[in-house]
Amino acid sequence: MRKAIPLVLLLTLVWGTNWPLFPIAVREVSVWTFRAVSLAGAGLMLLAVARARGESLRIPRAHWPTLLAAAMTYLAVWNVASTYSAILIPSGQAAILGFTMPLWAALMAWAFLGQRASTRVLLALAFGGAGVLLLIVNGIDAYAKAPLGFALGLLAGLGWAAGTLILKRRPIPVPAVVLTGWQLLLAAVPLTVGAFWFGEAGWFMPSGTTLFVIAYITLVPMAIGNLCWFAIVGLLPGNIAGLSAVMVPVVAMVAGALIHAEPLGLAQWVSMVCCAVGAALALLQPAAKLRPAGS
């Protein structure tokens, strides 16, 4: 347990401070170019790490449709929608909308997989819904000017949830680093096509600041952040490991206030608390009571 604490703190820091960097990364290049480069770079890094650890990079042929579906619904949708959302509305609020993923996953599991919602899940949905509603009411003027930013924030969470449920329904028996590396590379393909179609009109060299921010996001939040996540999952039970992502939107909103002077008042703090409680209820299940031997 103690070994995981530094990893949880590092993950929260690198993923949370990632959100305010999105508007900086796309000042000179398109969202599509930025994400195509970062996903491809991070995917190659993760596969290189897996290879260096002696792990096979092979995906069984029968699991490629699942891998492709998960990559498109999660990584392709998430990365484009979340980046545009962080540009159109305050990045911290975009992070909160994206990290409602566990709540959408619970709804999808009930609607499509027939999993009945427990009282705990219903409470999680209530808290998460209250947090999102508070954002809508408090930022109604800003969202009226940029309703697409709010919608894309929710779409990012929905895409993440859909991709997660696809992998839950048909798990792929490969190491997590290999699985994520291939998903990143697959998702980079349509984003690369989008970069040529929607991106820059001609070749040019971005400024050093833009190149540094994109390189940082590729190496630290995308590659190192995911490696931290895999290590946490290996050290902690799954329900506790899932809580490591709960505080990411909190850090994102604070970072957005410091970097971009985004609003950070009572309404934002209450919304963060509601979403954090909702996600915690959805992710953290009470441990089963130990039964005495022979009972």
Instruction: Write out the two tokens for 98.
Output: 């994206």
Domain ranges of the chain: 4-283
- How do residues 98-139 score in pLDDT, each as one tens digit? 877 777 877 787 777 776 767 877 787 788 778 877 877 776
Give the per-residue pLDDT at 286.
Answer: 58
Q: What is the mean pLDDT of residues 5-34?
A: 88
Neighbour count for residue 246 (Cβ, 10 Å) = 20
Q: What is the distance between the alpha carbons of residues 191 and 77, in angstroms, rounded to a whole number?
A: 10
Find tokens 């999105």 and name the residue.
22
Torsion over CA: 288, 244, 5, 39 (sign):
positive
Higher pLDDT residue, 31 or 124? 31
- How do residues 15-27 score in pLDDT, each as one tens digit? 888 888 999 999 9
Q: How far is CA 9 from CA 1, 144, 169, 230, 245, in A?
A: 13, 36, 30, 14, 10
Q: Report the share of the chain in percent with pLDDT over 70.
A: 88
- How do residues 61-85 score in pLDDT, each as one tens digit? 999 999 999 999 988 999 999 999 9
Q: Return the DSSP state at 117.
A: P
Higher pLDDT residue, 157 or 103? 157
Q: What is the distance between the alpha carbons of residues 4 and 241, in angstroms, rounded to a whole number?
A: 9
Give the per-residue pLDDT at 290.
Answer: 36
Q: What is the mean pLDDT of residues 141-152?
A: 84
Instruction: Write out the two tokens for 58.
Output: 């092979």
DSSP letters for 173-242: -S-HHHHHHHHHHHHHHHHHHHHHHHS-SS-----HHHHHHHHHHIIIIIIIHHHHHHHHHHHS-HHHHH
- How do residues 85-99 score in pLDDT, each as one tens digit? 989 988 877 888 887
- Does pLDDT of 1 surpass 60? no
- How do residues 118-128 score in pLDDT, each as one tens digit? 787 778 778 87
- Does pLDDT of 284 surpass 70? no
User: 76: closest CA among 103, 123, 40?
Assistant: 40
Give the per-residue pLDDT at 189.
Answer: 96
Of 128-132, 143-147, 187-191, where does the model show the most confidence? 187-191
Give the per-residue pLDDT at 289.
Answer: 43
Q: Return the DSSP state at 290.
A: P
Q: What is the distance between the alpha carbons of residues 76 and 72, in angstroms, rounded to a whole number?
A: 5
Distance spanning both ends of the chain, measured CA to CA: 29
Pick from 165-169, 182-186, 235-239: least confident: 235-239
Q: How far is CA 10 from CA 2, 27, 220, 221, in A?
A: 14, 27, 10, 10
Q: What is the distance between the alpha carbons of residues 24 and 207, in angstroms, rounded to a whole number?
A: 11
Give the per-residue pLDDT at 236.
Answer: 63
